[in-house]
Amino acid sequence: MKAWQETQLQALQTCDSEHQIFQTIVSMGAELGFDYCTYGLRLALPLSNPKIVKKSNYPTAWQAQYQTRNYCAIDPTVKHALRSSLPILWTDGLFASTADFWEEARSFGLRYGWAQSMRDSPGATGMLTLARSDETLSETELAAKAFKMAWLAQNAHIALSRRLLPKLLPEADTKLSNREIAVLRWTADGKTSGEIASIMKITERTVNFHISNAATKLNAANKTSAAVKAAMLGFL
């Protein structure tokens, strides 16, 4: 068990490709007793149309269906994942208001499963789902495997989001100068340029200069967007 975790952690952190990382996660899921495994990553930005990516070994037909019918928008496990990092078990109760979706998933062999999510500074939420067709999944089994699940969800997210993030959100690589950060911090807290000028003992012109530079770097249309992006990406 110890050997497993050590070996696999190595594997996760040294893997070069997303594909390799995901395969490692799949095999760890298998060792926990689950054939099916999906990792979903949802970026917080842009807020009006958040980017989502998935790596999955679910049946292809189901993945396609999920995509085309935009089940992501109604999937209760996704809803839960965005709110809480507690593990969530697939139960009838959970899918009470989305019975058709649930029926359809089961018809593809996705019958017993659970998921756990995890968040990090660049405003990304990752959800790891483990599922299988055959054996029921009891609260007891879940409790017994909670440690490993917590660890796996965490490390899967760290390993995969590190690869996926720069591609999906180039702004995440931006470097802001100290002044830009300071000015954006006050901006995000609701100070006007004039107030920030007083606080920092510089001209209002200079404040606006820094804000505008930061907005350009962050690919933001105005200071509001710049402040939000910088805050969400953890620059402030």
| Residues found near DNA in the complex (CB under 7 A) | 177-180, 192-194, 200, 202-203, 205-206, 208-212, 215, 221-224
186 binds, among a copy of itself, DNA, none (CB under 5 to 8 A by kind): a copy of itself
Coil, helix or strand for 174?
A: coil
Smallest gap, in angstroms, from Cβ of residue 217 to DNA?
9
Q: Are strands 124-132 and 112-120 parallel, antiparallel or unpaired?
A: antiparallel
84 binds, among DNA, a copy of itself, none (CB under 5 to 8 A by kind): a copy of itself
Q: Residue 194 and residue 4: Cα distance in Å, rounded?
A: 58
Nearer to a copy of itself by Cβ, of 106 and 162: the residue is: 162
Give the rounded distance of the alpha carbon of 215 from its chain centre: 24
From 29, 40, 28, 36, select the one nearest 77 (Cα to Cα): 40
203 binds, among DNA, a copy of itself, none (CB under 5 to 8 A by kind): DNA
208 binds, among DNA, a copy of itself, none (CB under 5 to 8 A by kind): DNA
Work out the angle at residue 22's Cα, subtended by the Cα atoms of residues 16 and 27, and round it to the nearest 5 degrees.
Answer: 120
Smallest gap, in angstroms, from Cβ of residue 38 to a copy of itself?
20
Count of H helices and E strands in the chain? 11, 5
Smallest gap, in angstroms, from Cβ of residue 183 to DNA?
8
Nearer to a copy of itself by Cβ, of 5 and 63: the residue is: 5
Q: Residue 201 and residue 207: Cα distance in Å, rounded?
A: 10
Nearer to DNA by Cβ, of 18 and 195: the residue is: 195
Task: Provide Rg for the chain, Cα atoms.
Answer: 21
119 binds, among a copy of itself, DNA, none (CB under 5 to 8 A by kind): a copy of itself
**Which residues of the shown chain bind a copy of itself in the complex (CB under 8 A)?**
2, 5-6, 9, 44, 46-48, 82-86, 118-121, 125, 143-144, 146-148, 150-151, 154-155, 158, 185-192, 220-228, 231-232, 234, 236
Structural contact between residues 207 and 196, judged by C-beta atoms closer than 8 angstroms: yes
Nearer to a copy of itself by Cβ, of 98 and 154: the residue is: 154
Nearer to a copy of itself by Cβ, of 106 and 119: the residue is: 119
Nearer to a copy of itself by Cβ, of 30 and 188: the residue is: 188
Q: Residue 117 and residue 91: Cα distance in Å, rounded?
A: 17
Q: Residue 166 and residue 170: Cα distance in Å, rounded?
A: 5
Structural contact between residues 55 and 64, judged by C-beta atoms closer than 8 angstroms: no
